[in-house]
Amino acid sequence: MPFTYEEKSAESIGIVFWRLANQCLLTNRGSVCPLDKPTSVRSNLPLVDTYLQAGLDALGDATRMAIFQKLVGGPIAVNELARTLPVTRPAVSQHLKVLKDAGLVMDSKAGTRRLYQLNPEGVARLRAHFDQMWTKAMSAFQTAADKSPTGEKHGKHYGRSRRT
């Protein structure tokens, strides 16, 4: 029996998962509960990708965006990045840690130094998000354009004077 709840609070969602888990345990009597089956708490509750949100938040800082853009050219060491930016090397390291935690960059050891480069998976996640957003926006624009009557141009009335 599926549960349908209208509440959006975290507490009510937690209760739903607790009830689903108990229902699964009672029905399957100790066997593994299939959690990968699509079970909806509420069909229109948005699923938030935490890595996506962390990536967007990380790029909201101008210095991190500048670092991200410099890494597009390929792997770079912290010292090389710090020379091109108006912040200290420790500050660059801290910004790189935030970008790494957000899944946007990764590092590798090259001798005694660390090289940082873009994480293809993190960039792909951002790209997919913006592609999806762009597709939805263009679809909505097409729908609106198809609905507008022909001959009407931005609300202006041609051929008639507004004066009486």
The pLDDT tens digits of the residues spanning 24-59 come to: 545 545 554 544 444 444 455 454 566 778 888 899
Three-class secondary structure of residue 54 per DSSP: helix
Q: How far is Cα 45 from Cα 140, in angstroms, rounded to an integer?
A: 21
What angle do the packed helices 120-147 and 50-58 form, to 10 degrees? Answer: 90
> Could you report the per-residue pLDDT of 98-133, keeping only the tens digit for each?
999 999 999 999 888 999 999 999 999 999 988 999
How is the chain split into domains, by residue range? 1-46, 50-121
Predicted confidence at residue 53, as pLDDT, reads 84
> Could you report the per-residue pLDDT of 4-27, keeping only the tens digit for each?
434 344 444 444 444 555 555 455
If one looks up domain 50-121 in CATH, what number appears? 1.10.10.10
What is the distance of C-alpha 17 from the center of its chain? 24
Gyration radius of the chain's alpha carbons: 25
Task: Kindly indicate the confidence band of residue 75, based on its pLDDT and cuts at 50, 70 and 90.
Answer: very high
